[in-house]
Amino acid sequence: MATIPGVLGPIDTAELGFTLMHEHVLIANWAMRQSFADYVDVPRFVDAAAAELRGAREHGVRSMVDLTPINLGRDIHVIRAVAERSGVQIVAATGFYWTEEPWMEAWDHDTLLRYLLRDIGEGIQGTAIRAGIIKCATDRHGVTDLNRKILEISARAHRRTGVPISTHTSVAHHTGLAQQDVFEREGVDLSRVVIGHCGDSVDLDYLEKILRRGSTIGMDRFGVDVILPTKQRVDTIVELCKRGYAGQMVLSHDASCHIDWFPREVIRKAVPNWNFLHISDDVVPALREGGVPEAQIRQMTVDNPRRIFERQGAY
């Protein structure tokens, strides 16, 4: 039996079940929350978020990876409360986002690495809840000097602990390949890495380049139709399954119960399918209709998440 750290204690990987590999409970700026107590009404938020995740559970979701990095307002107390009250198993992340902040320049590799190792080895924010995955991100600016440092410490934390890496990329800038280059130089086995947001692309050439190097790709923004509609996201997966890559894809929405980047009404109007039910309700049936065999759907939703977490050493 293999276990991984869940927010409510160890999770037997055999019990992960249908797993959404890239979601967020809460994204809200820490400085705003610290300065203005009502910036997030936590009790109200936890009520609403728990109800939303209970809904996802009723539609088959057993586990969810919360890929919120430290500097997007990751709050382990809120994540734990939502896990407790929803019955969805949640795995929390450590790591830093792609946005560059002055303090990041100040600290060298080892100093920043120590924080990631503390999250993984001891627990997050003074709790005993350990991070089960390492998040890092490279966006439109590509691998800058500072971004390289963040990718390198993520790689080193992975190599020290065996905890898998899952990333944010910009498909327009092909940053998935650039991330793989950095990880490879750091000696990372690329099959332990999920290159995220690949589902935003219909460029099969780009996606196959990533896949041929062994990584899993995150088809993980279902419902964000303003970037790419569901139909095209599904067609890409159908084609990649035909080409033999079902064992290297995972599905998710990159949705949040609350994100302070957009007013809720705007989200509801612009991207009505951007919620935790879209894959269960719409995407899986569409994949079936596209001819993806049941066994491959299971691979993408159950077996691949399990394998990504399972293949790690003791830590």
Contacting positions for Zn ion (CB under 5 A): 254
Kindly state the smallest distance separating residue 23's Cβ from Zn ion, in Å.
7
Nearest position to Zn ion, beta carbon:
254
Closest CB to Zn ion among residues 75, 254: 254
Kindly state the smallest distance separating residue 154's Cβ from Zn ion, in Å.
15
Beta-ladder partners of 68 = none
For 50-160, list the strands marked E by DSSP: 63-66, 89-95, 133-137
Closest CB to Zn ion among residues 200, 254: 254
Query: Among candidates 284, 309, 286, which has minimal Cα distance to 298?
Result: 284
Closest CB to Zn ion among residues 225, 254: 254
List CB contacts of 128: < 8 A, sequence separation 6 or more: 122
Kindly state the smallest distance separating residue 73's Cβ from Zn ion, in Å.
12
Closest CB to Zn ion among residues 26, 240: 26
Kindly state the smallest distance separating residue 135's Cβ from Zn ion, in Å.
8
For the chain, list the strands marked E by DSSP: 3-6, 9-12, 19-27, 63-66, 89-95, 133-137, 165-168, 193-195, 216-219, 249-251, 256-259
Kindly state the smallest distance separating residue 25's Cβ from Zn ion, in Å.
11
Alpha carbon separation from 124 to 21, 192, 220, 257, 313 (Å, rounded): 20, 22, 25, 21, 20
Closest CB to Zn ion among residues 133, 246: 133
